[in-house]
A and B are shown apart, each in its own frame.
Chain A
Amino acid sequence: MNEKALIDDEHYENTTLRDTTVIQPENIVYEKPKTLKDADFHYCPGCAHSVVHRLIAEVIEEMGIQSEVIGVAPVGCAVFAYNYLDVDMTEAAHGRASAVATGIKRVLPDKYVFSYQGDGDLAAIGTGETIHTCNRGENILFIFINNGIYGMTGGQMAPTTLPGMKSTTSPFGRDVSTMGNPLKITELIAALPGTYYVTRQAVFKPGLVRKTKKAIQKGFELQKDKKGTCFIEVVANCPSNWKMTPLESNHWLEENMLPFYQLGDIKTPNGSNN
């Protein structure tokens, strides 16, 4: 996370709409969703968080459900998600986002509720909450960003760090004999009857971005069925903490992360896998 993360909330409150009158309305082919606040993302260049935030905002806008959505932000790089997504949001303690989302959904069962969490949050400190929320089949949507590392605290080993992968707390590479193997929590929760739709996506190529958006839309739409938990993992890069350029990190992701974290649907409402 770069220094802009340290900018106060008021920065966002005071930011005014930029002058766009140089572009005539009829010439606009692409613009910021109205469900995205007019604030600069604090995320590092090339980070997947910005892309996924935008996709969530696009889906909420296109579905016309802004007034019916409540989001839960995690502890991690996305802690300030509420500075960007223009929906009501609650900022949870580290690991507890799905318990917070459960509380909201149980008292507002007809609203759309999602939690947005990273791998350390969802698959380490919050493993208990993640499993039990899915096991109860809470009608919420998880959006799970897996970049195999702790971003905000500066690049420590995550539960999802690949074997041999270097981090500040596995400086010689993750040794699975002492540090354990990376946790495929998505496959784990897919085995629970409470989950309804489980998929793994990525956003480092345009085609994949479009597929991820469709998955997010499906995740929101399926909440209406009230038949269980929807869970979308996005395999993501972390150029800053992987010590790579954005482009290098995308290549590394494709070559190293994807063979282990294979993309595709893991569980769908009609029962078909992949």
Chain B
Amino acid sequence: MNILYKVRDRIKSYFFSETYNMFPLVMLRVGLSLLLLVQLIQIKSDIFSFIGKYGLIRQDIVSIRVSHFILSSTDFVNYICAHIHWTEMQALNFLGAVYICSLIALSIGLFTRLSAFVAWILHLAFVSSAHFFTYGVDYFLTMLLFYTVIFPVGKAYSIDNLIFKYASTNATPYIRVLQIHMCIVYFISGMAKAIGPNWWNGMSIWKAINRPIITSFNIHYLANFGWLYTLAGIFTIIVEVLYCVFMNLDKTRKLWLLLTCALHLSIAFVLVLPEFAAVMILFNIAAYYYPANKNAQLKFDAQAPSIQDRVVIEV
């Protein structure tokens, strides 16, 4: 039984000691909403090609692969058109306007949970209507929006806090969730790469930098650096597989964060995936950039009668 108590105490201290302040969560809230706004601005001219009824892939074809338990933007549009008699374009513009308002409200922390919820549902709706056009970044954005809905991201540096004067909140449990998630992401990503030979011999990097979408470089010149692609492939595997170890050691955290950010910056510039890189850097910073309070004690909530907690520990 002693071991069980020890495990329980370790879990309690890991999740509930007051190790982190609210700033990483504020950073996540503001950074995420700004990234989503930038994404919308980038694709706004082409949005109807992706989610319009007669877009590049028509919505009746897209709907075959949309899960029945998710409301797509087509469902919203059909509902609006049937009840308010708007055209498809008016309905989509309306949904877009609501989405933008919710993101702005989320960034300044106005009705934070509600605006995060609206942004999350609409983001999901747009993504599911355009699911043939999605890639990794959209899943990460959905996941971070989900976290902003369930985490108390509006309890500091927000208009809500000015209005409602919230009591201080312990951010540690939520930061821990982000940290565990990041460790899982990188470990799986690194292990999956390490299985085949192509990341060890540089072939994957070679193929990645020569995808047709970015083949503006001189391929004969690039072919002279085979050794560099091998090194880059091995570097990627090492950074990703050992992320969960070195990010959780105080002495190596800064170095590993720097290496991880360098990895994502190279993805941004060489693979021309700036948005994916930005989301991952934001996720990393929110989870690991802010220093932990080493002297943190396991404190109980101010409102909770501590004697009752102690009763459980003594059982």
Q: Do the two chains bind? A: no
A-binding residues in B (CB < 8 A): none
